[in-house]
Chain A
Amino acid sequence: MRSKLIAALLVTCGLLVAAQTLVAHHAGTMFDENKTTELTGTIKEFQFTNPHAWIQVMADTKPGEAPKEWSVEWGSPNQLSRQGIRPSTFKAGTRVTMRIHPMRDGSAAGNFVAAKFEDGKVVGRWE
């Protein structure tokens, strides 16, 4: 019951989060807002820090090859916490598929759009 409630809360909060521009500390122009790409991999670390939270994801590459680390930028922990996000939202070792607005220069980083866990739980706007 509790996990269902949390899942519902995350979905609701995710919609709220996605509706706002969360790159508040600096210009977001390095990200291509018109492009959304998908990464699947394992959470390495969730940096719940100011001025921005960062999700480090070890993304799957080709079978047999080492995963590649991506840096996914999000809002400030202050904003995110008021919208229901917690340091435990992205636990290290969890499998996840993330949608991001990638950096325009092709670097392994992007701006957070949404995430879907293996149990179907969604954070952000997954459409």
Chain B
Amino acid sequence: MLLTAAAASAQNQAALPDWTGVWQMQGGTVFDRATQTGQGGALSKGVREHPPYNAEFEAMYQRNLKLRDSEKLPDPINTCGTPAGFPRLLNVPDTYEFVVRPEQTWILTENGPNVMRIYTDGRAHPAPDDRWPTYTGDSVGHWEGDTLVIDTVSTRMSHYPESGDTVLDRSGLILSDAAHIVTRLRRLDEQTMEAKMVIEDPKALTAPWNVTKTYRRLPKGTRVYDYACAENNRNPVAPTGETLILGPDGKPLGAAK
């Protein structure tokens, strides 16, 4: 007797791990906390991370750090227009949902909001000529037991801030559009999800860069809300890169603006 497509899908679903619920990233939004030097968050003066950058990208990161220190490094998501992009998508505040289906897994972030699609139906990445850099990139995945192994290419990170591309955090960490990221996503226990990334980038890095993020489960029944950033954005970014504060009349506060 042939199984119907729906029955086959349901059967496959039963074999997949249970990642239901609502999750929240642990720790601050410093992308690579393991190599952080300096005290504070990604915006604090003197804080930096230490990816195995080559000289060119180290110089670009140092330039971004200087802009950050002078409060002139715009955060691309403050425009309320562009997505966080990958891998920053694994480094945002607010809630996460991991929706596991036989043919795709979706990572939904409340902040943004952002959607990341990981194809698990056996397809490969498009051929190089058939793909172009996008914020979230192209991701295909396969299961190794209860671990989803995600292979991501074609992300959009290069010469920020001139390019308008994405950053990994507010210190100004960047990669090139040649980045290749393998993420091992799994549930460590009832309360914890782990995303273990190995980042390779022949244009930016001299060695693989390992970064791990963890997420804790929020109480059962937690709701996820709209995050319409343009609803009442009183913090627009000025052409100088500074983030403004708008007063009740809609005009920027502060004498210098």
Contacts and interface: CB of A to CB of B under 8 A. Distances in A.
Nearest to A29: B71
Nearest to A107: B253
B249 to A, nearest CB: 9
Q: Chain B's interface: helix, strand, loop or mixed, by majority?
A: loop
A16 to B, nearest CB: 13
Interface string A34-51: 000000000000010111
Contacts of B211: none
Contact of B94 (A26, A54, A71, A76): A76
A30 B245 contact: yes
A103 B247 CA distance: 12
Nearest to B227: A50
B233 A103 contact: no
A79 interface: yes
Q: Chain A's interface: helix, strand, loop or mixed, by majority?
A: loop
Interface residues of B, number: 35
A81 B28 CA distance: 20
A24 to B, nearest CB: 4
A28 B247 contact: no
A27 B170 contact: yes
Interface string B21-41: 000000010000000000001
Given A30-B243, A51-B231, 13 more contacts: A24-B94, A26-B235, A27-B71, A27-B75, A29-B71, A30-B254, A49-B232, A50-B231, A51-B80, A71-B253, A73-B245, A78-B227, A108-B247
Interface of B: 28, 41, 43, 71, 75, 77-78, 80, 93-95, 110-111, 170, 218, 222, 224-229, 231-235, 243, 245, 247-248, 253-256
